[in-house]
């Protein structure tokens, strides 16, 4: 695997992440947003996303949206839920709660089932909530909750949502392209992700894989001009790859290159295997060095892992900068009741990089 020699450090974060030299090189050319060649590139991406998702192209479609992942989540929440709709958010971390916050800002009636940051959702309780509240029309959950690294049971949840004949929204921001997801089997109507996650592009836009009929039925629901998901999709469909407003052209080209490299690696299955090896190597090595993961092993995703901070004199900021000097950037913690930090396992890295990280950590364990 080609390493990024020109970078002073590897990003061991859940996105932005370390990208290949060839993804960076793809941004060296300028593009015109009206040009047929560029619009054709957009259409290749839209079609390629459906191939990665392995969905029926007659039933599903895709749409790209400018902005960070949160922009795209808001475009879905604000566009597909009608005025009298009601959203159930299944939360167990910051990003699930953010969906609920978005809905509140948009004045969408919302119910939150928060199972706590260290637990998955009780499937029986979800079923009970939906059985008792017939006004709920949509259900949203984060697949990989990077607050902790928790991997939620998206397919099992989807079966319950489908049983109640509701619309299922999956925030797969940090999982799509890196963890196999059977969209049709899970009954997912809207899957949301971002360019700078497991497909290993750079920040600038996100995308939605949507059930075509349900997206078409959302016409007129949008609570925002810029984030009108239906209108964005309709423009791309009718004008063959044209965005409504200025698109991040360089980022789009980089993403197309990243999609090519995903295919060359062997697709989602092979990338999942690499990420899984990275994560297991990390947890094993950190345990050897005396660090305890926050979650039980069976709750972990292969995307990011949270570790409990050692007792003083450990200081995260000192630890962070000493690691950065050695060529590795990690993430602070986000968990409410624990002092902790996070290390990502995704991007243009492999187990060799993780072992080098562990060596660097062992060299700076000053608090023991």
* Boundary-marking domain end, from 234, 263, 292: 263
What is the 3-state composition of the chain as percent helix, strand, coil, each rounded to the nearest 5?
40, 15, 40
Long-range Cβ contacts of 48-52 (<8 Å, 24+ apart): 48/256, 48/259, 49/207, 49/209, 49/259, 50/209, 52/176, 52/177, 52/199, 52/259, 52/262, 52/267, 52/268
Q: For the chain, which residues score pLDDT lower than 50?
A: 1-4
Q: Both 294 and 259 in a single domain?
A: no
Q: Both 171 and 238 in a single domain?
A: yes
Q: Both 225 and 292 in a single domain?
A: no
Q: What is the pLDDT of residue 6?
A: 64
Instruction: Examine residue 2 and state whether it is found in any structural domain, yes or no.
Output: no
Domain that holds residue 342: 10-17+267-363
User: Locate tokens 């069976």: which residue?
Assistant: 298
Q: Both 292 and 160 in a single domain?
A: no
Q: Both 108 and 203 in a single domain?
A: yes
Burial class (CB in 10 A: 0-12, 13-18, 19+), 124: exposed
Instruction: Examine residue 354 and state whether it is found in any structural domain, yes or no.
Output: yes
Instruction: Examine residue 1 and state whether it is found in any structural domain, yes or no.
Output: no
Q: Both 197 and 298 in a single domain?
A: no
Q: Which two tokens stand for residue 26?
A: 């793809």
Total domains in the chain come to 2
Instruction: Examine residue 368 and state whether it is found in any structural domain, yes or no.
Output: no
End-to-end CA separation in angstroms for the chain: 35
Q: Both 256 and 326 in a single domain?
A: no
Q: Both 42 and 120 in a single domain?
A: yes
**CA–CA separation, 297 and 242 (whole Å):** 45
pLDDT digits (tens, 9 = 90+) for 180-189: 999 999 999 9
Q: What is the pLDDT of residue 4?
A: 43
User: Locate tokens 């392209």: which residue?
Assistant: 177
Q: What is the CATH number of the domain that holds 273?
A: 3.90.1150.10
Nearest to 243 by CA among 204, 280, 298: 204
Q: What is the pLDDT of residue 37?
A: 94
Q: What angle do CA 201, 211, 299 make, to 5 degrees?
A: 60
Q: Both 181 and 292 in a single domain?
A: no
Q: What is the CATH number of the domain that holds 108?
A: 3.40.640.10
Instruction: Examine residue 253 and state whether it is found in any structural domain, yes or no.
Output: yes
pLDDT digits (tens, 9 = 90+) for 136-156: 999 999 999 999 999 999 999
The tally of CA atoms less than 13 A away on the side-chain side of residue 11 is 17
Q: Who contacts 172 (Cβ-Cβ below 8 Å, separation ≥6)?
A: 143, 144, 154, 181, 191, 192, 193
Q: Is the dihedral of CA 165, 105, 196, 292 positive or negative?
A: negative
Q: Both 108 and 235 in a single domain?
A: yes
Q: Both 290 and 309 in a single domain?
A: yes
Q: What is the pLDDT of residue 117?
A: 96
* Boundary-marking domain end, from 246, 263, 280: 263
**CA–CA separation, 185 and 59 (whole Å):** 13
Q: Which two tokens stand for residue 257?
A: 């290159």
Helices in the chain by DSSP H: which ranges? 21-25, 36-53, 69-80, 94-105, 123-132, 154-163, 183-186, 212-216, 229-238, 249-265, 267-288, 316-325, 351-363
Q: What is the pLDDT of residue 324?
A: 95
Q: Which two tokens stand for residue 225?
A: 């001009």
* Number of other residues whose CB lies within 10 A of the CB of residue 108: 21
Q: What is the pLDDT of residue 2?
A: 45
Q: Both 271 and 353 in a single domain?
A: yes
* Boundary-marking domain end, from 263, 296, 316: 263
Instruction: Examine residue 183 and state whether it is found in any structural domain, yes or no.
Output: yes
């Amino acid at each position: 695997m080609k390493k990024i020699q020109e970078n002073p450090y590897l990003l061991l974060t859940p996105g932005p992440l370390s990208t290949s030299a060839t993804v960076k090189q793809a941004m060296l050319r300028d593009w015109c947003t009206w040009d047929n060649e560029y619009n054709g590139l957009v259409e290749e991406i839209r079609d390629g996303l459906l191939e990665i998702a392995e969905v029926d192209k007659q039933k599903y479609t895709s749409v790209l949206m400018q902005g960070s992942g949160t922009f795209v989540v808001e475009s879905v929440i604000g566009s597909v839920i009608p005025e009298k709709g009601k959203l159930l958010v299944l939360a167990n971390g910051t990003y699930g709660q953010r969906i609920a916050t978005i809905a509140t800002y948009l004045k969408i009636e919302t119910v939150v089932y928060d199972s706590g940051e260290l637990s998955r959702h009780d499937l029986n309780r979800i079923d009970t909530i939906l059985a008792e509240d017939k006004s709920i029309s949509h259900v949203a959950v984060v697949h990989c909750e990077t607050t902790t690294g928790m991997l939620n049971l998206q397919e099992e949840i989807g079966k319950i949502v489908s049983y109640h004949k509701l619309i299922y929204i999956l925030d797969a921001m940090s999982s799509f392209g890196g963890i196999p997801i059977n969209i049709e089997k899970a009954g997912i109507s809207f899957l949301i992700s971002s360019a700078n996650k497991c497909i290993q592009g750079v920040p600038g836009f996100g995308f939605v894989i949507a059930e075509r009929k349900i997206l078409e039925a959302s016409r007129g629901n949008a609570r925002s001009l810029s984030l009108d998901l239906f209108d964005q999709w309709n423009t791309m469909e009718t004008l063959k790859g044209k965005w409504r407003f200025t698109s991040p052209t360089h980022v789009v080209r980089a993403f197309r290159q990243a999609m090519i490299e995903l295919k060359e690696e062997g697709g989602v299955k092979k990338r999942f295997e690499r990420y899984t090896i990275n994560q297991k190597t990390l947890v094993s090595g950190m345990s050897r060095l005396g660090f305890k993961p926050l979650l039980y092993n069976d709750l972990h995703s292969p995307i990011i892992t949270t570790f409990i901070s050692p007792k003083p004199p450990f200081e995260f900021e000192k630890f962070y900068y000493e690691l950065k000097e050695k060529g590795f950037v990690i993430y602070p913690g986000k968990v409410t009741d624990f002092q902790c930090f996070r290390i990502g396992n995704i991007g243009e890295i492999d187990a060799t990089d993780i072992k080098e990280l562990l060596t660097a950590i062992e060299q700076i364990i000053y608090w023991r």
